[in-house]
Structure 1
């Protein structure tokens, strides 16, 4: 397949692009700078511009573009940037598809577990309603923008959970502390994080390209875990203690809304659609995921 990836330089995009090329696909990427290779095509989603030759003849488009959720404090302008970077990129892509006589057959457009807001301990499947808050509002609009793709394009909106990686990602700041034995749970630790390893994210996107699913798909591991369990498994895999809890009031004081929605919110997400479709995880259990993250399993 010829696949165009937007947001290919990020943690997830790099892993997905590498995995797709390894599987024999022809992968092109969208870049904001002048192209440096035949597989690169220039775009400027903030201005709605894209080189229309990028999507010509493409079988699929993968949209991972958007400003980093946890990279900076959530000021009013930053929240607007989080929203606009996602909606602008998605609408630039759907508009480009609409200008083609033969648009791509598949559009995988990233969403997030934040769609469900703070759902507590309730098990949430793809048919659960949207929650409230900044992230939920962004995800609702983000998914709606993806469905502006032309009729006949199969649209999938993967609601990706906390991606576990050996470097960077959600654990980028926590892992060095755990390796030193000075890390610990965040808040009371009873909030659920829908985790998934980076190789399984890449595998799931490949699976979604080739499987006739459409609409929202929860991207997470099949085993649910709260933060206490997640941190305990990682610490155990590192043979380190994890007792220095960071209280919720401290997180709220330092990080504000970002802490409330990104670290303290609970989403006990179930990958019902992926499971029913027969997807096979490389790391289906938290113990396997922790072993991989801490370097006791193959790289990918």
Structure 2
């Protein structure tokens, strides 16, 4: 397949691109800095500097849209909220325009979203049918998904990736947690009772390939079948590093430090990959301790 990827230099994309090349696909990467990206990817990857110089997507078989400013890197000021939205919505709108402008559009758009679509639902078991809480993360993801669905037609199917916390050796949540836990200063956050919907990077990449190669459409919770509470996650990470993990971070301190974005760690989703499993996809990593051991290695 000829595949166009946005956001390919991020955590998921940097693992996905090599797998696509290994499996015989041809990859074009949209990036703001082709010179910098060239040093990180196989020479076979074609680099586009943005989308504005191209009118349509004819010639591509699939588009994987992973672009978006990291959601947890900064406090959610009004300006930062706007940047989070615009970085996702604008490029998705442009892709949909390009789908519609062509005579032979790609047969599939796989577009990013997040488990945060549901908001903080506490103990509720969350599948793709669960009605969400109307929080900022829901508004961000719901509009993002709505825009992406504009590409759907008789010729194009749209898959939406409602992704949980991705566990990978470099980047993502572990880039922030590993230094703290290695010092023996890690532990549960707040009550520790909130659920964490997680997925190993290998399962994330395999899940995207599965959606690429099967006639599926709609939202998919990209999470392990076994979400865990925050205190379980902290204990498992400490165990993987052979370090104690009992230094609890009080909710008040987290709110003071992170502001409104503290909902990302003090809240959570007990999300399950119902539609992905029903389609026949098989996970490699069910057990959190095994997944963390692999990532830490």
TM-score normalised by the chain length of structure 2 = 0.94
Whether contact under 8 Å (1:67, 1:82) holds in the other structure is yes
Q: 3-state DSSP class of the match of 1:148?
A: helix
Whether contact under 8 Å (1:97, 1:150) holds in the other structure is no
- Number of the residue aligned with 1:13: 13
Q: How many angstroms apart in 2 are the aligned matches of 1:60 and 1:222?
A: 27
The count of corresponding residues between Structure 1 and Structure 2 is 289
What does 1:203-282 correspond to in 2, within 5 Å? Answer: 203-260=206-263, 262-282=264-284
Q: Report deviation, 1:264.
A: 0.9
Q: Report deviation, 1:168.
A: 1.5
Unaligned runs of 5+ in 1: 296-300
Whether contact under 8 Å (2:62, 2:108) holds in the other structure is yes
Whether contact under 8 Å (1:112, 1:139) holds in the other structure is yes
Output one character per residue of 1:94-150: Cα deviation in whole Å (capped at 9) or x when no partner. Answer: 101111100000000000000010110110000111222111100000000001115
Corresponding residue to 1:39 among 25, 37, 46 = 46
What does 1:63-102 correspond to in 2, within 5 Å? Answer: 63-102=65-104
Q: 3-state DSSP class of the match of 1:132?
A: coil
Q: How many angstroms apart in 2 are the aligned matches of 1:173 and 1:50?
A: 37
Output one character per residue of 1:45-89: Cα deviation in whole Å (capped at 9) or x when no partner. Answer: xxxx25236x22111000001111011111100000101111101
Whether contact under 8 Å (2:203, 2:284) holds in the other structure is yes
Unaligned runs of 5+ in 2: none
Q: Report deviation, 1:33.
A: 3.7
Whether contact under 8 Å (2:152, 2:158) holds in the other structure is no
Corresponding residue to 1:156 among 143, 159, 172 = 159
Answering whether residue 24 of structure 2 is matched by residue 24 of structure 1, we say yes
Whether contact under 8 Å (1:41, 1:51) holds in the other structure is no
What does 1:113-152 correspond to in 2, within 5 Å? Answer: 113-152=115-154
What does 1:152-191 correspond to in 2, within 5 Å? Answer: 152=154, 153-191=156-194
Q: 3-state DSSP class of the match of 1:108?
A: strand
- Number of the residue aligned with 1:298: none
Q: 3-state DSSP class of the match of 1:163?
A: strand
Q: How many angstroms apart in 2 are the aligned matches of 1:64 and 1:166?
A: 19
Q: In 2 relative to 1, CA 50–63 (structure 1 residues): closer, same or farther, beyond 3 Å?
A: farther
Q: How many angstroms apart in 1 are the aligned matches of 2:220 and 2:50?
A: 27
